[in-house]
Chain A
Amino acid sequence: MPTHTFILNGKRVSVDCPDDVHLLWVLRDLLGVHGPKYGCGLTVCKACTSLINGVSVQLCGVLVGDLKPTDEVLTIEGLPGSVGKALHPLQQAWLDYDVAQCGYCQPGEIMHAVALIEEAHAAGRRVNEADLDSFRNVCRCGTYFRIREAIKAGEQMMIDQGLLKKPNAYDPILPGRELKREHHHNRAAR
């Protein structure tokens, strides 16, 4: 059986398993990392969202065989460490706004929010309403509104703590602006 090596939450890990097992199961079933949750296995619900090399991805759509030894996988467990704090500002914002109900989707929500904010700021702007509307993560408890509030507050904390570069200009919410398109690099087997 092949051995796969990659960086998980800042530490190099190796795991023996076939190439065609999805990373969600490698983490949950073989490595005992339970932060990323299963909600569909179709990259639809986003409960398993984590970051690979800083990009928001669904682990249920990534084969372990496709990872390189230098690839950095960051799950909710490694998020505080990635900023050298006990809690990432977004986790703190989630607490401040008492976002979670059952909490099952929240690790995925937070991980995607981190990527969304970083991406907006890399493009020199702040997160806007269209970005929030583009968020596909399912929360069946319906905490959506508090998620929106927490993202805005968390973004401000990230700026205040110097975790983001200052945006060039505020990007106002344009009325009637189309939703941000989603990536479709995952070929759903329909």
Chain B
Amino acid sequence: MATSTDPLIERPVSRRRFIAFLVAGPTLIAAARLERPAAASAAGVPTSQPVDEYDLSDLLNDAAAPTANLIRVVIEKDGSVSFAMPRAEVGQGITTAAAMIIADELDVPLSQINITLADAEPQLVFNQLTGGSNTIHSIYDPLRAAAAAARGALLQAAALYLNQPVSQLSTAGGAVLSSLGQTVSYATLSTKAAVSKNTLVKPNLKPHSAQQLVGTPQRRIDALAAVTGTKVFAMDITPPGALPTMVCRAPTLNGSARSLNNEAEILAMPGVTDVAVIPHSAHINGGVAVRAATFGQCIDAIRAMQVDWAPGTAEGMYASDVESQLIKSELPMTPALGDTIDERFVFNFRPGDPLETNCAVAVVTKDSAEIWSSLKAPIWAQEKIASLLGMQVSQVTCHVTQGGGSFGRHLFADAAFESAVIAQKMGKPVKLMWHRADNFRQGRVHPMCTSRVRMTYSGKNIIAFDQRHTSVATDFSHGLGEILSAYAATLPDANSLGYSQSIFLLTACSPYNFGPTTQLLEEVYPYDKFNTSSVRNIYSPDVRTAGELMVDKMAALQGVDRYQFRRDYARDARMVAVLDKVAEAADWGRTMAPGTAQGIGVHREYKGYAACVVEIDCTPRTVNRVIPNGYGGPRVTKVTFVVDVGLPINPLGLQAQMMGGSMDGIAQALSYSLHLEDGYFLEASWDDTAYTRQWNTPPDVNVIVMPPTTNEPGGAGELGVAASMAATAGAYWKATGIFPTRFPINYAEPLWFTPYPTVPPIPASPTTEYASVIAQEQADKAAGRRAEREKHAHHTTRHAHHSAKRKDH
């Protein structure tokens, strides 16, 4: 992977100004907040959209502005620096970026900085929401200001201590140095610099040219914990008495448990301590909860339960019903004023699952509750849990744990809510974990949608671009992360009118000069009919894939190269720059073998620009690969990705996010989905949902980070998905001659898996006579007969699966 970090000579000056505080405490504590940003100037491009002046990043920043003063940097007595980050780390690398920012401003080695995740703090109000790829964008300036204020206070304290003027002092390596060669460590100064009363200060921020870490590739600060198995996730936390707990869930989406008919039998099962019926409600999936000594015994108990179920929210529905409703609800196009190309694209439901399933630990007593979970909107969770339990907010503590991925899933606190209610009902602490089958079938999904795109042209000129996006409602009932806006989102029509429309308008964009451009969203169904969430980059991957395929089509119609066409209509220089870079790095236009092709996609969002070129292999040899219990299909063999986020903080982390986003883009274009049939999703395992696996992975990935173009770090967590998904879809067209309009492309193929039954709702874990298998393996290995035996084993398994197809119940 290549990294480019050459500084750009002229950068726009940030519009933010800073103030900071020294906060009363036993050691030095510095805090900072943002002033409300001034209105941005118009972008001054011929095709103007709301997103040009004010995008989702700005909305979240403005929401954060009034209370951001609680971003606090603490100099500990040992000289280390602590920052309790009011955000959720779910793999996106924000703790590492924050540590780099602090280390630079304070002249402290990275290893001496401890970043933890802050508990829910209601006084932060809106400023504890991790979403919209906004974290670094929103905390970059205040974090620098706080760290700079701390550095200033340390210098002042050192000046007194050494009896030297500040002008003769400098900082390096966690210490203050004097021009006379004296050194005094931050450890020594940490208490001397402490203040007894809050004090307003003007921090002296370092210029970008003096930053030593920001802009350089740095490895993750939590990597050692991850590779040694010591990184602590929610299910690794065990308060006394918190036993494994799972829930037997309904056979159809959002069905509600009426009663457990064999409670005595279940309670008598090995390890089982408690059962409780948990009715379904808007934010609690519910069913019959069981607590046991081990999760394995919970699974056994769930499989033995006889439950009366009330119908769910999508009873009898198929994906085709949803599609009909979407098409019926599509907003009309205005009459075209020229020739047109016009297509409708269908994007099916797809999971929002991280690898860690929904989970939470809850200890609930008569007058207090303590919850541990990966929460991206912890204040909302805390407030809602208080109301669910009939407590005051101050009686509820919400700890934000490290998340095993999120992809939008943890904006909601499904497991936290459920765990609190179960713990209260059972009167005992619980470690609640969802089974994978439940996570796919009852968990939050990317809403199914259609996107109709019409491009109007007159000869060689594109004169209008119109897009009508119609989607199953996206649940925004987490609001802006606290209960007032969350409540507002549940009012009739408010979810759609207040939130979905705003988010759509603030994110949707067509980055081209195609003349008058309209992009409109219409939603169908109430927000809680399907369980949805802003799955990684919510609207953009579909909006942009539809748009980019039409751009490819128009380029073909005009007889112009796809890259050149994009360049000709690009709206600004940053987009041209990423396009040119990706074309060069990917050797765009090189001769490709039959059945293989290149594809290109661009995207602009979160103050950043992305361009991607993929190469795809759709030859029969590749498409027809036999993958035991898995989906092979076309393979993207190479990804070249160029990203400009304005000011890159950690290029190595950015590359990781673009690489991961590309795996998402590939999966969403080609294979990753949920099939809605008869009121439930068929998929219950990773083999079924066909997310990108190693055999789908490009063996060649090159992510190029552009040098800084602004003083503001843009978002990264979601930026990689849209361009790579669009590029993959376009490459597929070029390689096969089949213009894809339904996604993922394999959706209508015969199922490659046998759906698991819905009763019992979760499959048994496989068992085998393991000792003999292991003995056999070792004997085989010694005898080198393995390959032969595997072939045979595979053959019999496939046969068994086919004969068992849909032999449910």
Interface size on A, residues (CB 8 A): 92
Segment at the A interface, from B218-226, B326-334, B383-391: B218-226
Complex interface: chain B residues within 8 A of A142 (CB): 659-664, 692
Interface residues of A in 112-141 (CB under 8 A from B): 119, 122-123, 129, 132-141
Closest to A96 in B: B219
Interface residues of B in 657-703 (CB under 8 A from A): 659-664, 685-687, 691-695, 697-699, 701
| Interface flag for B656 (CB, 8 Å) | yes
| Interface flag for B93 (CB, 8 Å) | yes
Complex interface: chain A residues within 8 A of B765 (CB): 22, 41-43, 60-61, 189
Cβ B801 vs Cβ A190 within 8 A: yes
Cβ B763 vs Cβ A189 within 8 A: yes
Cβ B693 vs Cβ A136 within 8 A: yes
In the complex, per-residue mask of B223-235: 1 if CB is within 8 Å of any chain A CB, else 0: 1111111111101
In the complex, per-residue mask of B198-228: 1 if CB is within 8 Å of any chain A CB, else 0: 0000000000000000000001101111111
Complex interface: chain B residues within 8 A of A26 (CB): 294
Complex interface: chain A residues within 8 A of B356 (CB): 37, 39, 102, 104
Complex interface: chain B residues within 8 A of A75 (CB): 229
Interface residues of B in 611-626 (CB under 8 A from A): 621, 625-626
Cβ B695 vs Cβ A133 within 8 A: yes
Kindly provide the distance from the CB of B168 to the nearest chain A CB, expressed in whole angstroms: 40
Kindly provide the distance from the CB of B634 to the nearest chain A CB, expressed in whole angstroms: 14
Contact of B767 among A54, A63, A98 (CB under 8 A): A63
Interface residues of chain A: helix, strand, loop or mixed (majority): loop
Kindly provide the distance from the CB of A120 to the nearest chain B CB, expressed in whole angstroms: 11
- Tell whether A187 pairs with B244 under 8 Å between CB atoms, given A25-B294, A25-B295, A142-B661: no
Closest to B243 in A: A29
Segment at the A interface, from B342-350, B362-370, B444-452, B774-782: B774-782
Closest to A139 in B: B355
| Interface flag for A163 (CB, 8 Å) | no
Complex interface: chain A residues within 8 A of B804 (CB): 190
Cβ A181 vs Cβ B628 within 8 A: yes
Cβ B244 vs Cβ A29 within 8 A: yes
Complex interface: chain A residues within 8 A of B231 (CB): 103
- Tell whether A61 pairs with B768 under 8 Å between CB atoms, given A101-B656, A184-B797: yes
Cβ A102 vs Cβ B229 within 8 A: no
Complex interface: chain B residues within 8 A of A101 (CB): 91-93, 220, 405, 656, 660
Complex interface: chain B residues within 8 A of A159 (CB): none
Complex interface: chain B residues within 8 A of A87 (CB): 227-228
Of A44, A60, A102, A143, most B-chain CB atoms within 10 Å? A102
A71 to B778, CA, bound (A): 13
| Interface flag for A185 (CB, 8 Å) | yes
- Tell whether A104 pairs with B227 under 8 Å between CB atoms, given A61-B768, A145-B698: no
Interface residues of B in 767-799 (CB under 8 A from A): 767-771, 773-774, 777-778, 781, 784, 787, 790-791, 793-794, 796-797
Complex interface: chain A residues within 8 A of B685 (CB): 40, 42, 44
Complex interface: chain B residues within 8 A of A77 (CB): 228-229
- Tell whether A144 pairs with B784 under 8 Å between CB atoms, given A76-B229, A181-B628: no
| Interface flag for B407 (CB, 8 Å) | yes
| Interface flag for B48 (CB, 8 Å) | no
In the complex, per-residue mask of A16-41: 1 if CB is within 8 Å of any chain B CB, else 0: 01101110111011101011111111
Cβ B784 vs Cβ A21 within 8 A: no
| Interface flag for A158 (CB, 8 Å) | no
Contact of B784 among A62, A76, A123 (CB under 8 A): A123
| Interface flag for A85 (CB, 8 Å) | no
A82 to B232, CA, bound (A): 23
A100 to B229, CA, bound (A): 11
Interface residues of A in 156-190 (CB under 8 A from B): 176, 178-190
Selected A-B contacts with CB under 8 Å, 13 pairs = A22-B767, A28-B235, A29-B294, A37-B356, A41-B299, A44-B687, A63-B767, A66-B769, A95-B227, A104-B91, A133-B694, A144-B663, A190-B754
Given pairs A104-B356, A140-B405, 10 additional interface contacts (CB within 8 A): A25-B244, A34-B229, A45-B436, A55-B777, A61-B765, A100-B226, A101-B93, A103-B223, A134-B695, A180-B787
